[in-house]
Structure 1
Amino acid sequence: MEITIILSSPRSGSSWLSRVVRCIPDHSVFTHNTYTTQFLYSLYPMKSVNPFCDDGITRSGLVDSLLKPWRVRRVRSYIESRAAGNPTVLISPTLSNFLPLLKAAFPDARYVHFQRNPLDTIASMKKFLAKNDCGGFIDRYRAHAYGGRIFATRSASIHMLHRLRWMRLIHRGYLGVRPSGFQDAARYSLVDFLSWYYTANQRDILNGLADIPDSRQVAIHYEKLVEHYDDEVAKLLEFMIGDQEKPEIPHSHDGVRSGAVGRSKELFDTSELEQIHSFLLANAPQRVLQSYGIATPLSIDDERWIKQETI
């Protein structure tokens, strides 16, 4: 089965990239909006709903070891039955938590590591966390009633489930996946927590890719996709399709805002940026930091990081 798995941190632009790859003809694409995420969580129900756990499955107990063959078969049958023989793309930030399972189910899969500037990613996480600091079931249901009763009920139910999963966080709201070690960071300040979250998620991804041959993995960057769309999509198609006849480059720029690059300048002040930068330098994988030149101490005059003061 030809399958490409696209991994990213939350708020890295995966929703936009999913719209791009859905434009590729004769491909089946599974995203967080196609119930694939919920299906994966359903394979680990006790862990998924437990507010005292994280979502990582790298540590396996006796029950997990016994159930692993069944879970592998379930994942393969779920994807194969819906892909209808087409080349397949899985894309969702949630996938990083299920890499051991996916690697067992699809041993020949290709992997795309989709990255975005850490500061912009963390800034977007901050906005999204605040956005999901909202009301209960009824409020969520009313806000999504435009999609019909089933859609509104599903959205409201998922909202309440995430609130339960994230209840130990001292900050209101939620993002989605809980990286390995989530509970150890649940009492961090907001800036430290977001810095930790990005770092832990990227470590989960890179640890999962460590044993994948270079020929079966590639890095794609959000900023390059924004600025050099045709070149980056051609690079992605070359990786996914290889020597086969390639389709016309899909055009899907909808939802991309010019201000999305450099957003950290708007949401963090100087001291917060210095705090995030120091945390990343001390803890984040160098492979990620070097892609964005974050390998030296922050300069107070560095225009890439510092918020522009308004007069």
Structure 2
Amino acid sequence: MEITIILSSPRSGSSWLSRVVRSIPDHSVFTHNTYTTQFLYSLYPIKSVNPFSDDGIARPGVVDSLLKPWRVRRVRSYIESRASGNPIVLISPTLSNFLPLLKEAFPEARYVHFQRNPLDTIASMKNFLAKNDCGGFIDRYRAHSYGGRFFAMRSACIHTLHRLRWMRLVHRGYLGVRPGGFQQAARYSLVDFLSWYYTANQRDILAGLVDIPESRQVAIHYEKLVESYDDEVAKLLEFMIGDQEKPEIPHSHDGVRSGAVGRSKELFDEAQLEQIRSFLLTNAPQRVLQTYGLATANSTAEQQRITQETS
């Protein structure tokens, strides 16, 4: 079974990239807009709805260990039954939380690490958090009634569930998965929380990729898709399809503005940007910072220590 798993932080452009990969002929693509995310959460129902927990599954207890073989079989059967024999693409910011399970279910999977400038990602998280700090069940139902009753009810239920899951955050709203350490970080100031969230999410992704051969992973960058779309898509197709004849992928720039590159300067003042940079330099993986010129030589030793601890 050919399967590619695309990992990213929330607000890194995964919705845009999902539109790109959905245009690849004869591929079955599962995104956060399908039921796949809800299915994965349903495998850990108590952990998922508990507002005093996080979503991490890397440290299983006795019950989790006993249920692991069943969960692995359920994931494989769920995906295979809906793929109709086509090559498979899984893409969602939620997947970083379920990496241990996905690696067991699909041991030969290829991985794409989709990245965006940390400062712009954190700025987009700030906007998204504020967007979800409004309204209750009825408001969300009315806002999504354009898609029919079932769609509106589903959106309202998910909104209510997320608000419950994120109720301990001092700044109302929600993003997606709750990485390990979420309960402590929920007390942070807004800027520190968003910096922590990005760092924790990237930590989980890189920890999951540490034992994956280099030949089965590749980094794709949001900024390069904006600036050199054809070249970056060609790189992605080469990784996913290999020597096969490459399909012609239509441009998918709907909803994407070049102004999204550098957006952090619109939402944060210089003091806040310096606060974010300081947090990232102290805590974020060196590997993701180097790409965007945010790392310094002085942070290398500290980042190596952090990487060793998380792996």
Q: TM-score range by the shorter chain?
A: over 0.9
- Residue 275 (structure 1) aligns with: 275
Runs of 4+ with >4 A deviation? none
CA distance in 2, matches of 1:160, 1:279: 31
Q: How far did 1:255 drift?
A: 1.3
**1:93 and 2:123 matched:** no
**One-letter amino acid matched to 1:265:** K
| Paired amino acid for 2:58 | T
Q: Distance in 2 between matches of 1:249 and 1:30?
A: 18
Residue identity matched to 1:121: T
Distance 1:261 1:81 in 2: 39
Q: Which residue pairs with 1:44 in the alignment?
A: 44
d(CA) in 2 for partners of 1:257, 1:42: 35
Deviations 1:115-144 (A, max 9, x none): 000000000000000000011100100111
1:35 aligns with 2:35: yes
Inter-partner Cα distance in structure 2 for 1:259 and 1:152: 32
Aligned partner of 2:305 in structure 1 is: none
Shift of 1:150: 0.4
Asked if 1:79 is matched to 2:66, the reply is: no
Unaligned runs of 5+ in 2: 298-311
Matched, 1:23 2:23: yes
> Residue 124 of structure 1 corresponds to which residue in structure 2?
124
Shift of 1:258: 1.8
Deviation at 1:251, TM superposition (A): 1.9
Q: Please state whether the residue corresponding to 1:30 is helix, strand or coil.
A: strand
In 2: Cα distance, 1:113 partner to 1:184 partner:
27
SS at match of 1:243: coil
Q: Does 1:259 align with 2:259?
A: yes
Aligned position for 1:219: 219
For 2:61, give the aligned amino acid: G
Q: Which amino acid aligns with 2:168?
A: R
CA shift, 1:168, in A, is 0.3
| Residue type of the alignment partner of 2:214 | D
How big is each residue's C-alpha offset from its partner over 1:168-187, in whole Å with a ceiling of 9 and x where there is no partner? 00001000111111111010
Cα drift, residue 203 of structure 1: 0.1
Q: Deviations over 1:265-306 (max 9, x none)?
A: 100001100000000000000000001000149xxxxxxxxx
8 Å contact kept, 2:20–2:249: no
Q: Which moved more, 1:238-247 or 1:22-31?
A: 238-247
**TM-score scaled to structure 1, two decimals?**
0.95
Percent identity of paired positions between Structure 1 and Structure 2: 90
Residue in structure 2 matched with residue 308 of structure 1 by the alignment: none
More helix by share: 2
Alignment TM-score, normalising by the size of structure 2: 0.95
Distance in 2 separating the partners of 1:232 and 1:81: 31
Q: C-alpha root-mean-square deviation of aligned residues, in Å?
A: 0.8
**Gap runs ≥5 in structure 1:** 298-311
Q: What corresponds to 2:113 in structure 1?
A: 113
1:296 and 1:104 mapped to 2: Cα distance? 36
Distance 1:11 1:212 in 2: 25
